[in-house]
A and B are shown apart, each in its own frame.
Chain A
Amino acid sequence: MTSALPQQTPGRGQRASAPGLPSAAAEGEGAKRRTWRAEPPDWFAAVAGAILVAVVLTFLSDAFLTTNNLTNVLAQTAVLTILATGQTFVLLTAGIDLSVSATMALAGTVLGMLTVTYDWPVVLALVVTLAGGLIVGVVNGLLVARFALPAFIVTLGGLLVWRGLALQMVGGINTTGLPDFVTWLGQEDVLGVPVPALVALTVVAVSALVVSRTRFGVGLRAIGGSVSAAERSGVPVLRYKITAYVVCSLLATLGGIVLVGRLDSAGGSLGTGMELMVISAAAIGGVSLFGGSGSPWGAFFGAILIGIIQNGLNLLGTSAFVQQIATGVILVLAVAVDQARRRLARRWA
C-alpha cells in the first residue's frame, strides 16, 4: 500500500488526466478509441455445438427431446463431468492428470471392499476412500511440483499403478451389493433430478467459483500463463500446484463413489480408458491444454456435448464404435473452432 506516501487525488474515470502529470495517455492507441467488446467465454464452442447437435437430434429422433431422456443424459454424464472438472484444475496449471480414471477405479474398489467385503459403516468407508484419493493427489502433486517430473509421465505411471493396485486388491473380481447411501448417490432422484446430476452440478458450480473468485483460482491461472511471473509475484506456486492435483484426485474419487453407486458394482476395471474422454471433455469445453485458461463450466459443457452425442447415437441405434469416432471428430472440431474464435477475437481487439 502507498498509504505512507502523499496521495494524489484519484481520478474518477480511468482515462481522466492526473493533475501535474503530462498527459500522454493512449500511447500507441492514438485517436482510435473503440468500445471494448467482451470476449465470448471459453466454453462458447461447446455450448454452440451442444445446441446444434440437440436441434439435429430433435428432428432425427422423437425420443430425444423428452424430460426423461434429458435427465438421463445429465445422470449419464455426471461422472464424466465430475472428473473433467477435477482435470480442469490441473490443466489450468499447464499440467495433466492421466491417472484420473485409475484413481476413480481404485476409489470404487476400496469403497466396495470396505463396505461389502469387510462390512464397514458407510461413513467410515467413505472417509477412508476419500483419504485414499487425497494420498494419490499428494503423490502426483509432489512428484510433479516438488520434484519437477513431467506431469504426463508421473500420471501415466499413476494410471498403471492405481489401476493395477485396484485389480490386485480384488483379484479382478467386481463387488456388488453396495450400501444404500452409495446406490442412492448413483441412482436416485430428488424432485425429479437425478442425484448424480445434482452432485455433478454442485461440483461444477463450486469449482467455477473457486477458479474465478479466489486467490487460489487466480494463482492457478497465473501459473498456467507464466510460472515465472507467478513465482515472482508471490503466488505460492508449489502449494497451489500440489493442491490442484489433490483436488483432481479427490474429484476422481468422488466420481468413483458415484459410479459404483450407479452401477452397484465396484472393481479395478471401472472406467478403463476414460481418462481420454475426461481430457476431451475439458478440451471441448475450451479448457486449454497449455494452461492458463478455461473454466469448470467448460468441462461441464464439454461433458454434456459428449453425453448428448452418445445419447443421440444410442437413440439412433448406432454402434458404440461409431460413438467413439464421433467423439474424436468432435474433439478435434471443437478445438479447431476454439482456435478460430481466439484468432477472430484477437483481430477485433
Chain B
Amino acid sequence: MTATETLTEAPVLELRSVTKRYGGITAVDSVSLAVPAGSIVALVGDNGAGKSTISKIIAGAVHPDEGEVLVGGKLRASIDPTEVRRSGIEVVYQDLALAPNLDVATNLFLGRERVRAFGWLDRAGMRREARDLLAQLDVYVPSLSTKVERLSGGQRQAIAIARATHWARSLVVMDEPTAALGLRETRKVEELVVALRKRGLAVLIVSHNLDQVFRLSDKILVMRRGNLVAQFDTSATTTEEVVSTITGVM
C-alpha cells in the first residue's frame, strides 16, 4: 500500500498544552501530543489518568480550558462534534453510538444520508456503498437490513468501525474498542484497526489492554494523573517499562 503519498507531513492531530479542569480537579494538565499521519498511536494509563477526557476533547464533546488543538496543522476554532466530523476525524465511542432499532445500512449513513431530488433518500446508492464498504473490510453481517440490536457485540463494533472508516479522512479515535468483546471478536476488530492504517488513516486508540497495544500500535503515550508522562516507540520498549510508567513505580 502506498497510503502516505496523498497525505501531508503535518500530524493529522496535535494537542498543544491542553488543560481541562473539572471544578478543582485538573483532569488533563498541559498535555501536548501529536498523531502522525497513517500511524496507530495508543493512549494508555490507569483509570482517571485523563485518557477519556483527551478523547472527548478530540471528539469535540469537551472544550479544553487552555491550549490548542490542531487538525492537519491548522488551528481548530469553535468545536462541536459535527464540526469535528466535518474536519475528517471520526470517533468510535465506547457505547458505539449506533441506533439499535435501525438497520446496518441506515446506521452506516446515519446523520449523513445521501438524498436525491426532493430530499428522497438514495437508498439503493447507500446500500450499494454499504455493501462495498463491508466487503472491503471483510465484515460479515446477516444482511444490510438487519437491525443493529440483532447483531453480536463484535458485529456491532465492526459496524461502528466501518462507519468511522467510511467517513474519516485523517483520523479515527477509538475508545476501548474491544473492552466488551470475546477473543475472536477482539481479533477481528484488531484486523480492522490495521486495515485503517492500510487505508492511510491514523488511529488513536484508548486501551487498557497492553498486549493489544503492543500488537497494534506504532507509538505508545502514557498518561498519569492528567499528565502525559512518557512517549514510547512501540518497537523500542517493553511491557514492563510501560507498566511501570503507568503505575509510576520505577
Task: List residues of chain A with CB under 8 Å of any chain B CB.
Answer: 1-2, 4-6, 8, 10-18, 20-29, 34, 36, 38, 213-215, 218-219, 221-222, 224-226, 228-235, 292-293, 346, 349
Contacts and interface: CB of A to CB of B under 8 A. Distances in A.
Interface stretch (B20-28, B47-55, B111-119): B111-119
B62 interface: no
B3 A5 contact: yes
Q: Sorted from nearest, which 4 A-B pairs have the closest CB atoms?
A: A11-B135, A234-B111, A225-B101, A10-B132
Contact of A229 (B1, B99, B188): B99
Contacts of A1: 167, 169
A347 to B, nearest CB: 11
Given A24-B187, A28-B185, A6 B1 contact: yes
A15 B137 CA distance: 10
Contacts of B200: 5-6
Contacts of B188: 24, 27
B191 A22 contact: yes
A225 B150 contact: no
Given A4-B6, A10-B132, A27-B188, A230 B110 contact: yes
Nearest to A228: B97
20 contacts: A2-B166, A6-B199, A15-B135, A22-B138, A23-B138, A24-B187, A27-B152, A27-B155, A28-B155, A36-B142, A213-B121, A214-B120, A218-B102, A218-B121, A224-B101, A226-B97, A230-B110, A231-B81, A292-B101, A346-B150
Contacts of A219: 111
A6 B169 contact: no
B134 interface: yes
A250 to B, nearest CB: 18
A292 B95 CA distance: 18
Find the residue from B113, B123, B168 having the highest chain A CB count within 10 A. Answer: B113
A268 to B, nearest CB: 38
A14 B168 CA distance: 21
B242 to A, nearest CB: 27
B96 to A, nearest CB: 8
B135 A293 contact: no
B145 interface: yes
Contacts of A11: 132, 135-136
A213 to B, nearest CB: 5
A235 B135 contact: no
Given A38-B145, A214-B119, 20 more contacts: A2-B168, A2-B199, A5-B6, A6-B2, A11-B132, A18-B135, A21-B138, A21-B195, A22-B191, A25-B140, A27-B184, A36-B145, A213-B121, A215-B121, A218-B113, A229-B95, A230-B110, A233-B99, A235-B110, A346-B150
Interface string B120-140: 110100000001101111111
Interface in B53-101: 81-82, 85, 91, 93, 95-101
A29 B140 contact: yes
